[in-house]
């Protein structure tokens, strides 16, 4: 008797699915535990004794467990910033270096690896947000219009952000300065995504205007 043999495997994942798969792989790698043959059971890593409670989670949030330490060691208080939640989540992924840049999607053999902005170097988080030719021109404009110190790496970017915050004399100045890096990096990411997925042209002047709009709002 002949048997059915139907290939059910899809040829490729969508961008959203690839991102979810990468996040899962990152979670498993971060967990560092091991699988055994016992039954599955829920586990709340932040409080193994009492498990998950809203109060416990809130306490942890207030104590900064979920806002620090970041991969870059930045004391940036992402969750306290007065910015839209989607940008907070984006900043969190950036700080944890979990954004799906092209170097992290290289397991898809048909994916290009060049930077979505300049197309001249492999796209990594460090390249895209601090070293790229387009990004550098954009940050030069930002630095000349604000008190943000120039930087050449992601680590230096967080340090420049923190130095700016410390130098800010008033509460209002601290608030404004705290928006510069979130707004600038969000503009870079949105511009990159528009260029990659919608094939839009890239103009530093447009990036600057977009950023000014974000900070004003």
Nearest residue (CB) to Zn ion, 45 versus 199: 199
Question: What token pair was written down for 22?
Answer: 């990468």
Question: What token pair was written down for 217?
Answer: 């709002």
Nearest residue (CB) to Zn ion, 132 versus 211: 132
Residue span binding Zn ion (CB under 5 A) among the ranges 101-109, 129-137, 163-171, 208-216: 129-137
Residues 99 and 112: beta-carbon distance below 8 Å: no
d(CA 45, CA 212): 40
Nearest residue (CB) to Zn ion, 101 versus 178: 101
Contact set for Zn ion, span 62-121 (CB under 5 A): 115, 117-118
Nearest residue (CB) to Zn ion, 74 versus 135: 135
d(CA 51, CA 29): 22
Instruction: Name the minimum Å distance from CB 112 to Zn ion.
Output: 12
Instruction: Name the minimum Å distance from CB 211 to Zn ion.
Output: 18
d(CA 55, CA 46): 12
Instruction: Name the minimum Å distance from CB 114 to Zn ion.
Output: 8
- C-alpha distances out from residue 154 to 75, 178, 198, Å: 14, 16, 26
Q: How many chain residues interact with Zn ion (CB under 5 A)?
A: 4
d(CA 101, CA 18): 11
Number of C-alpha atoms within 13 angstroms, CB side, residue 72?
A: 24
Instruction: Name the minimum Å distance from CB 202 to Zn ion.
Output: 10
Contact set for Zn ion, span 131-190 (CB under 5 A): 132
Instruction: Name the minimum Å distance from CB 141 to Zn ion.
Output: 16
Q: Which residues bind Zn ion (CB under 5 A)?
A: 115, 117-118, 132
């Amino acid at each position: 008797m002949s048997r059915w043999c139907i290939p059910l495997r899809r040829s490729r994942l969508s961008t959203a699915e690839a991102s979810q798969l990468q996040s899962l792989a990152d979670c498993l790698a971060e967990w560092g535990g091991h699988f055994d043959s016992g039954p599955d059971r829920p586990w709340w890593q932040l409080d193994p004794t009492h498990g998950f409670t809203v109060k416990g989670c809130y306490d942890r949030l207030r104590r900064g467990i979920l806002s620090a330490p970041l991969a870059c060691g930045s004391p940036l208080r992402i969750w306290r910033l007065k910015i839209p939640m989607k940008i907070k989540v984006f900043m969190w992924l950036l700080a944890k270096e979990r954004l799906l840049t092209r170097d992290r999607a290289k397991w898809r053999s048909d994916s290009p690896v060049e930077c979505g902005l300049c197309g001249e170097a492999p796209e990594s988080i460090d390249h895209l947000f601090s070293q790229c030719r387009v990004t550098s021109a954009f940050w030069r404009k930002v630095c000349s219009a604000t008190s943000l110190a120039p930087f050449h790496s992601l680590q230096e970017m967080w340090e420049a952000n923190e130095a700016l915050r410390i130098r800010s004399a008033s509460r209002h100045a601290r608030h404004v300065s705290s928006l510069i890096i979130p707004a600038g990096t969000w503009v870079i990411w949105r511009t990159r995504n528009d260029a990659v997925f919608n094939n839009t042209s890239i103009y530093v002047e447009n990036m600057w205007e977009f950023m000014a709009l974000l900070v004003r709002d």
